[in-house]
Structure 1
């Protein structure tokens, strides 16, 4: 296990380097100039150029990248062009809400999809199965931003049940208030993933129900519910672990959209604001951190797969 983890970490280093080079180049070559944020009508050309030099934007791209990598290896992510604060401080302030939102959404998705997928498979081609399937097709098809706006209109504007913006109400620090603010963002993030996982689990359970070992267990007199929950469901969940790892990118990108719409103070909202303001250090930090999260997520997925199914050995 330890050798496998170390090997995967070593293999991920070239991937991160390639991601950093591509991201750094695209950001620098994109239309727009962060120096414009600092320009005032009274500034002279010399003052504008001094600002560019102070931000380190007067050097060639490869020199800028070299200095960025050098500082990164020292644990220095630089300073935000807009907030004038260390990037690592901004990340620390925002990473907690983002991980909390993504983590809760993933847990809810897994629990609901297991229940709904199993029910849909047991009642195959019946009303309940058709109803769950239609809801899943809706969850897979509708855009997240549209779904978020509909929730805000329904529960915030029309019925005034839930708050529409932020993570807490001003001056309120109760857990109930935090839960109220998190309900709609969690629903928006978990609905598409729940729909996808439900369809996979339904398909896997139906395939497992037709296997010979199920007939053998039933011939031995085992209760069908025991066969379903102990044997069929366990074997059906193996591919789901891989699907969860593959869905991490969509969860991260979904967090960007969701946090922006609901004003959730996480990395997604910080990233979108940084993109519009050409805040290069923050954009690079969030890009690399998101890449690390995806690599770690896939590594955990592989490890969990080998734990659930002992027949699968990790390649050392």
Structure 2
């Protein structure tokens, strides 16, 4: 197990290094360079030269990259030229709120999708299986923004149960103080995940129901419910563990749309506003954080995968 963890950790470090290189290259691929992109078309040659000198962009690229790494290790992601605040402070303020939104949406998706997938597998070919499959395909194929619009029209305007705007608290506690405003964003983000997870769960359950250990358990007289709960569920849920770790970029893209629709003060809304205002330090800072989160999520997935299935450790 130790060798497996060390190997995966070293691989994660290499990928993190590659992520930092990609973000660094993106910064230098901005039209006209970082100085022109930030100062705009009216920036004079003297202003650009002075900016490059102050920011260290007049050095060679290798030296710039090592300076960039040094700033990253100290938590310096640059300065937002639109908000006049350090990017690290903006992310520290917004990231917990996005984590709360995505975590609650994912938790809701797993709690709903796992029983749905099991039910579809057990009742394969029945009318309930067809109805749930059709609903899953419809939810998965519908864009997130359209799902959000439908929920707003139905549950905020036609039947005014929930507000159409998310709570605007500055802290996570402030967000929870107006939790009714969180219902529609969470459900909007969770619907597409439920559709995909339930399909994976159905497929994995059907595969496991044909295994020898299921027939052996049935031959021993165990009930179908006991076999599903104690044997099939643990093996069928392994693909979902992998999916959860690799689904982080998709979750963020969904959160970006949901946060902009419901005016939720998270990292997705920060990214959207930065894109609207060409605030490149914020855009690159968010990109770096999402890349790091994806790598760490993949590493965590490998660890949980190995715990659930010891065979993975023996072949890795």
Task: Determine if the TM-score, normalized by the shorter chain, exceeds 0.5.
Answer: yes
The equivalent of 2:300 in structure 1 is 300
How big is the shift at 1:181? 1.5
Q: Deviations over 1:223-251 (max 9, x none)?
A: 22111211122221122211222222211
How big is the shift at 1:58? 6.5
> Alpha carbons of 1:129 and 1:10: their partners in 2 closer, same or farther (altered >3 Å)?
same
How big is the shift at 1:131? 0.9
Matches within 5 A, 1:157-176: 157-168=157-168
Structure 2: how far apart are the matches of 1:295 and 1:132?
Answer: 33
The equivalent of 1:145 in structure 2 is 145
Structure 2: how far apart are the matches of 1:229 and 1:129?
Answer: 20
Moved more, 24-33 or 81-90: 24-33
The equivalent of 1:70 in structure 2 is 70
The equivalent of 1:33 in structure 2 is 37
How big is the shift at 1:101? 0.8
3-state SS of 1:148 partner: helix
**Equivalent pair of 1:108/1:190 in contact (CA under 8 Å):** yes
Structure 2: how far apart are the matches of 1:46 and 1:119?
Answer: 67
The equivalent of 2:209 in structure 1 is 209
Matches within 5 A, 1:1-316: 1-31=1-31, 33-36=37-40, 45=44, 49=48, 52-53=51-52, 56=55, 59=58, 62=61, 65-168=65-168, 177-313=177-313
CA-based RMSD: 2.8
How big is the shift at 1:45? 4.4
Structure 2: how far apart are the matches of 1:266 and 1:187?
Answer: 16
Structure 2: how far apart are the matches of 1:54 and 1:160?
Answer: 56
3-state SS of 1:125 partner: coil
Unaligned runs of 5+ residues in structure 1 are none
Q: TM-score, normalised by structure 1?
A: 0.86
How big is the shift at 1:141? 0.6
Unaligned runs of 5+ residues in structure 2 are none
Structure 2: how far apart are the matches of 1:12 and 1:115?
Answer: 33
> Alpha carbons of 1:218 and 1:54: their partners in 2 closer, same or farther (altered >3 Å)?
same
How big is the shift at 1:22? 2.7
Aligned residue pair count: 309
**Equivalent pair of 1:165/1:263 in contact (CA under 8 Å):** yes
Moved more, 21-30 or 257-266: 21-30
Q: Deviations over 1:91-121 (max 9, x none)?
A: 1110110111111111111111111001111
Q: TM-score, normalised by structure 2?
A: 0.86
Structure 1: how far apart are the matches of 2:151 and 2:95?
Answer: 25
3-state SS of 1:312 partner: helix
**Equivalent pair of 1:77/1:285 in contact (CA under 8 Å):** yes
> Alpha carbons of 1:51 and 1:161: their partners in 2 closer, same or farther (altered >3 Å)?
farther
**Equivalent pair of 1:168/1:177 in contact (CA under 8 Å):** no
> Alpha carbons of 1:296 and 1:175: their partners in 2 closer, same or farther (altered >3 Å)?
closer
How big is the shift at 1:157? 2.8
**Equivalent pair of 2:87/2:285 in contact (CA under 8 Å):** yes
3-state SS of 1:311 partner: helix
> Alpha carbons of 1:17 and 1:306: their partners in 2 closer, same or farther (altered >3 Å)?
closer
